[in-house]
């Protein structure tokens, strides 16, 4: 004869969702073990109490809730567009201004040749693509090395 | 003030299409399919979330649908039903909000969740009132359980999930779900007995 039943076994038996000990074995044990039977009864009573709550609940949903949702969705999309625009502006600033200012700082000597961003850039933007509705910004950069292209993907996710 | 809505749908009103079929249609661009899912699950989720966060329930459920709307393509029927998936989202958002609230409460005052308090008792000698009172008592006891046990009890008894599904929703083994269930039921009985003894 085995020891006492595990809590999980009693729970499986109460809810009829066991995949281990056969129910006959559990029933047999409950018949002869007062301790396990007490626990079984206690758990079953608590479970029955909770079932009362299930009967009580009734809930409704109206078009107002759907309108609230669409308002929220609109605000969310607006925020996302703003964030994307900011990210894009930041990118332009980083790619454009930094080399230009670096050029300006390092510009010495021949005053007749002003720094030219396009010619001194180690990389250049070859493609910018905005994907909707995923709201993804894909920027492809071409480097001086023809074998190396850089693809940046900015996404909400 | 009495509020009136143009159209109120009881949660039982459903089309014949399965959740998964509606998901497919929504992905292919049919907005109405999403609305059907919304009306199907909003009341169920609100009821579930309100058991943990009554005041924030509306916001949390709106947030759940926002996530569903955005991430619907991530849903895979092979990994479980749509109901399991949406409940997993609801559980995660509720737990996040619950933790945020506990942190705030710890900072500003000793932890006594006023959000969990229920309306005043009524003592009218009416059978319905007595039954409501009894339910309130069970609800109060339920709210005194640790969140992890409460979630399992609610998912099982209020929403009727199988243990396997609860395990998937919470991301824990089925055996753990069952042991939490047992601990939760025992604790519920203890709390109810203590309260009966006190008053």
| Residue extents of the structural domains in chain A | 7-55, 66-155
More confident residue, B28 or A143: B28
pLDDT-derived band at B197 (thresholds 50, 70, 90) equals: low
Select the highest-mean-pLDDT range: A5-19, A56-70, A101-115: A5-19
Same domain, B147 and B196: yes
Q: Is residue B4 part of a domain?
A: no
Is the pLDDT assigned to residue A133 strictly greater than 90?
no
* Spacing of C-alpha B122 from chain mean position: 26
pLDDT-derived band at B27 (thresholds 50, 70, 90) equals: very high
Show residues of chain A in contact with B5, CB under 8 Å.
62-64
Select the highest-mean-pLDDT range: A140-144, A151-155, B11-15, B84-88: B84-88
The pLDDT value given to residue B110:
46
Of A95, A100, A59, A84, which is closest to residue A136 (Cα–Cα)?
A: A84
B window 42-61, beta carbon within 8 A of A: 42-44, 46-47, 58
pLDDT-derived band at A42 (thresholds 50, 70, 90) equals: very high
Host domain of residue B39: 15-111
Neighbours of B94 (CB within 10 A): 25
Show residues of chain B in contact with A62, CB under 8 Å.
5-9
Same domain, B106 and B129: no
DSSP state of A4: P
Is the pLDDT assigned to residue A134 strictly greater than 70?
no
Q: What is the mean pLDDT of residues A35-48?
A: 92
* Spacing of C-alpha B143 from chain mean position: 12
Q: What percent of chain B has pLDDT over 90?
A: 46
Q: How many domains does chain B have?
A: 2
Q: Please classify residue A154 by burial: count the beta carbons closer than 10 Å to its beta carbon, then call 0-12 exposed, 13-18 middle and 19+ buried.
A: middle
Which helix (H) or strand (E) covers residue A73, if one does? Answer: helix A63-92
Show residues of chain A in contact with B135, CB under 8 Å.
52-53, 56
The pLDDT value given to residue B159:
87
Q: Which residue of B has its CA nearest to A68?
A: B62
Q: Is residue B8 part of a domain?
A: no
DSSP labels for chain B?
A: -----S-EEETT---SS-HHHHHHHHHTT-HHHHHHHHHHHHHHHHHHHHTT-TTTHHHHHHHHHHHHHHHGGG--GGG--HHHHHHHHHHHHHHHHHHHHHHHHHHHS-S--GGGPPPPP-----HHHHHHHHHHHHHHHHHTS-HHHHHHHHHHHTT---HHHHHHHHTS-HHHHHHHHHHHHHHHHHHHHHHHHH-
Is the pLDDT assigned to residue B7 strictly greater than 60?
no
CB atoms B157 and A54 under 8 Å: yes
Q: Which residue of B has its CA nearest to A135?
A: B70
Q: Is residue B1 part of a domain?
A: no
More confident residue, A5 or A144: A5
- Across chain B, what does the average pLDDT equal? 81
Domain finish residue from B111, B145, B170: B111
Q: Is residue B2 part of a domain?
A: no
CB atoms B157 and A8 under 8 Å: no
Q: Which CATH number do you get for residue B152?
A: 1.10.10.10
Task: Supply A10's token pair.
Answer: 């009693």
d(CA B176, CA B157): 17
The pLDDT value given to residue A19:
75
Q: Quick: pLDDT tens for B36-73.
A: 999 999 998 998 898 888 888 999 999 999 999 999 98
Q: Is A62 an 8 Å CB contact of chain B?
A: yes
CB atoms B158 and A57 under 8 Å: yes
CB atoms B138 and A65 under 8 Å: no
Of B22, B66, B57, which is closest to residue B40 (Cα–Cα)?
A: B22
Q: Is residue B119 part of a domain?
A: no
Residue A138, φ and ψ in degrees, nearest 5: -115, 120
Same domain, B190 and B162: yes
The pLDDT value given to residue B11:
45
Q: What is the mean pLDDT of residues B165-175?
A: 93
Q: Is residue B9 part of a domain?
A: no
CB atoms A62 and B38 under 8 Å: no
Do the bridges between strand A149-155 and strand A136-143 make them parallel or antiparallel, or are there none, so unpaired? antiparallel
Q: What is the mean pLDDT of residues A15-40?
A: 89
Is the pLDDT assigned to residue A120 strictly greater than 60?
no
CB atoms A58 and B178 under 8 Å: no
Q: What is the mean pLDDT of residues B91-116?
A: 70
């Amino acid at each position: 004869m085995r020891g006492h039943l595990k809590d999980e076994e009693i729970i499986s038996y109460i809810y009829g969702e066991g995949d281990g000990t056969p129910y006959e074995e559990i029933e047999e044990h409950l018949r002869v073990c007062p301790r396990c039977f007490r626990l079984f009864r206690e758990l079953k009573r608590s479970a029955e109490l909770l079932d009362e709550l299930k009967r009580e609940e009734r809930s409704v949903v109206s078009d107002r809730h759907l309108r609230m949702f669409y308002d929220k969705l609109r605000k969310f999309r607006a925020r996302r567009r703003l964030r994307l625009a900011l990210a894009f502006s930041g990118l332009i600033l980083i790619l454009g201004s930094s080399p230009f200012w670096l050029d300006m700082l390092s510009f010495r000597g021949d005053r007749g040749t002003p720094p030219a961003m396009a010619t001194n850039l180690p990389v250049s933007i070859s493609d910018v693509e905005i994907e909707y509705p995923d709201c993804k910004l894909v920027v492809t950069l071409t480097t001086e090395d023809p074998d190396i292209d850089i693809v940046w993907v900015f996404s909400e996710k | 003030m009495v509020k009136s809505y143009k159209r109120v749908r009881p949660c039982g009103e459903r089309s014949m299409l399965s959740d998964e079929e509606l998901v497919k249609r929504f992905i292919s661009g049919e907005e109405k399919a999403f609305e059907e899912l919304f009306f199907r699950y909003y009341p169920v989720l609100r009821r579930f979330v309100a058991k943990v966060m009554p005041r924030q329930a509306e916001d949390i459920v709106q947030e759940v649908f926002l996530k569903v709307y955005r991430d619907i393509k991530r849903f895979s029927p092979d990994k479980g039903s749509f109901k399991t998936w949406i409940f997993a989202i609801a559980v995660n958002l509720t737990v996040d909000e619950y933790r945020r609230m506990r942190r705030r409460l710890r900072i500003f005052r000793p932890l006594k969740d006023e959000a969990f308090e229920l309306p005043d008792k009524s003592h009218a000698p009416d059978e319905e009132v007595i039954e409501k009172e009894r339910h309130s008592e069970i609800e109060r006891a339920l709210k005194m359980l640790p969140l992890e046990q409460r979630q399992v009890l609610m998912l099982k008894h209020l929403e009727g999930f199988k243990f396997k599904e609860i395990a998937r929703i919470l991301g824990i083994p089925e055996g753990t779900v069952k042991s939490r269930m047992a601990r939760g039921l025992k604790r519920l009985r203890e709390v109810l007995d203590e309260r009966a003894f006190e008053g």
